[in-house]
Amino acid sequence: MSAETLRILLVEHDEARCSLLKEGLSETGCTNVVVVRHTHNLLRRIVDAAPDVIFIDLGDPDRGLLEQMLDVSRSVRRPVAIFVDRSDPDMTAAAVDAGVGAYIIDGLKKERVRSILELAVSRFQAFDRIREERDRAKQALEDRKLIDRAKGILMRERSLSEEEAYALLRKAAMSDNRRIAEVARSLVTAERLPK
């Protein structure tokens, strides 16, 4: 996605800092910038704006506000860059854990906006790939457990070997045009029903 087509949500209450960020974004080619002045009901505003990237300038936030913004970052699956004037190691670690793509301390300069935008987007994409790989691995493990349980049921109920039970599951999946894990889930569910 090119900078020209990116929709940026800028959370900024200070007019001067907002102008600085908007100018930096404009110089990178980002012209579709929506500004939100207050953090009240921010999650709803983010959903309504449907941005591609979120820039949040907190200036000198109190710990409660920063934690609220980190919660927002966890809730939305978008690249997020947060600007703060000062921070501590615990808050920096919390920002990384929340998936913030760029956590910038005392670095609000329009010349840095392009690199910050690129960093936020690339880190988000990397985290998203890792999250998808983790989800696929978890699903594969769950599928394997279901298949093993279904094989156990078939082995017990029909006196089959493990290979024969798997072949039967595979044959049923192919004939129904379903995944083996789906057939296994049906068998395990049916086994739980009262007889």
- Give the pLDDT confidence of 136-173 residue by residue, as tens digits: 999 999 999 999 999 999 999 999 999 999 999 999 99
Domains and CATH numbers, the chain: 3-131 (3.40.50.2300), 133-192 (1.10.10.10)
**How do residues 9-57 score in pLDDT, each as one tens digit?**
998 888 888 888 898 998 888 888 999 888 778 888 888 888 999 988 8
Helix H or strand E encompassing 61? none
Q: Of residues 1 and 117, which shows the higher confidence score?
A: 117
Quote the CA–CA distance of 152 and 128 in Å, as a whole number: 36
CA-CA distance, 182 to 191, in Å (whole number)?
Answer: 14
> What tokens does 105 get?
């301390």
Q: Is 80 exceeded by the pLDDT of residue 65? A: no
SS3 3: helix
DSSP code string of 88-127 = -HHHHHHHHHTT-SEEEES---GGGHHHHHHHHHHHHHHH
Q: Which stretch of DSSP H or E encloses residue 144? A: helix 113-158
pLDDT at 1 over 80: no
- Is 94 within 8 Å of 70 (Cβ atoms)? yes
